[in-house]
Structure 1
Amino acid sequence: MEQTSAVGPRKQLEAALEFAREGDTLAVTKLDRLARSVRHLGEIVERLEKNGVALRILNLGIDTNTPTGRLMLNLLGSIAQFEREIMLERQKEGVAKAKAEGKYKGRKPTARTKVDEIKALALQGIGKREIAQRLGLGERSVYRMLSAQ
């Protein structure tokens, strides 16, 4: 299982697509976990078809080995993209409303709350990468806090 941001690289998916051979079937649990858009889905399916690999979406019972399966995949892919776009629209509206009401503060500044710990560890000669790992922060946050001294 791979967890990444919506725009980040998907190394495990890429590895699975590279590994799949003619006659194989790539099985995924849910369509929305496979592709980020109808276009992305089309690219994945095209790549699989070019290599003679079928696609099976387990929770929908879709198998691209059949004409009906390919039709359903395209229809449901379009619907999934529509749902995602609607959800993002609602999210933006909610954030805008919360900001207008002064309720939206954004994410808590975790690195700023640990700046004293970061400085203390740095004074002990501990490297920035190690500090980040110990405190559960990103390396960039540690660099930022140390350069803000």
Structure 2
Amino acid sequence: MPRIGYARVSTSSQDLDIQKARLEAAGCEIIRAETVSGASRDGRNELATVLEFLRGGDELVVHRLDRLGRSTRDVLNLVHELDAKGASLRVLEPEVTTAGDMGRMVITVLGMVADMELKFIRDRQRAGIEAAKGKGVYKGREKRVDDARIRKLASDGVAKARIARDLGVSRMTIYRALEAGGAETGTESQ
């Protein structure tokens, strides 16, 4: 039974080495790793690749369940996809596998815990931001693009959608910059 390891961290300041070492020690022949949020499956290309190539009898191995996902629904959907392929999931900490009925139940409970932990993280982050705002310390993240540049491009006749695409920002950012400058925002979809 081939074992395929999956490692994930949320930010580049975190280290994948511990997870990779544990996956190697567990006998994983292939290890795919990525740096991306586990809040959803969006943008998780390495996980998508693993799921695409898993076959019947294969085992997907993760260090901890929260490395696979922080949403109970996502985790359970992944387990369902693995079952449909005839593959299974093994979590190393705590040691549990979906190869049996008891393992599926434990995975469900662990998925709910990971989901709750994500909610707690978001609540703490929100509380920290509110406290910083109250002290006048929090100013939000720095703007990536100068509003004056956006207004200049718009006044030169460049379509709002093109400005957003070229600058790598949302169209809402364009509309806010134009509104802040008192420029005509219009409602056309350019």
TM-score of the pair, normalised by structure 1? 0.70
What aligned pairs does 1:80-119 form with structure 2 within 5 A after superposition?
A: 80-108=114-142
Partner of 1:4: 36
Partner of 1:48: 82
- Report the AA paired with residue 130 of structure 2: A
Pick the aligned partner of 1:140 from 168, 179, 182.
168
Residues 70 and 111, structure 2, Cα contact 8 Å, conserved in 1: no
- Measured against aligned partners, the alpha-carbon deviations of 1:89-133 in whole angstroms (never above 9, x if no partner) come to 121011012112101133355777xxxxxxxxxxxxxxxxxxxxx
Cα distance in 2 for residues equivalent to 1:43 and 1:102: 43
Cα distance in 1 for residues equivalent to 2:76 and 2:100: 16
1:55 shift after superposition: 0.2
Partner of 1:69: 103
Structure 1's unaligned 5+ residue stretches are 113-138, 142-149
- Report the AA paired with residue 28 of structure 1: V
Q: Which has the higher strand share?
A: 2
Partner of 1:57: 91
TM-score of the pair, normalised by structure 2? 0.55
Q: Number of residues paired by the alignment?
A: 119
What aligned pairs does 1:23-38 form with structure 2 within 5 A after superposition?
A: 23-38=57-72
- Report the AA paired with residue 140 of structure 1: G
SS in 2 for 1:2: strand
Q: Which has the higher helix share?
A: 1
Over the residues paired in the alignment, what is the CA RMSD in angstroms? 2.4
Structure 2's unaligned 5+ residue stretches are 1-32, 147-166, 170-190
SS in 1 for 2:89: strand
- List, as ranges, runs of 4+ consecutive aligned residues in structure 1 with deviation greater than 4 Å: 108-112
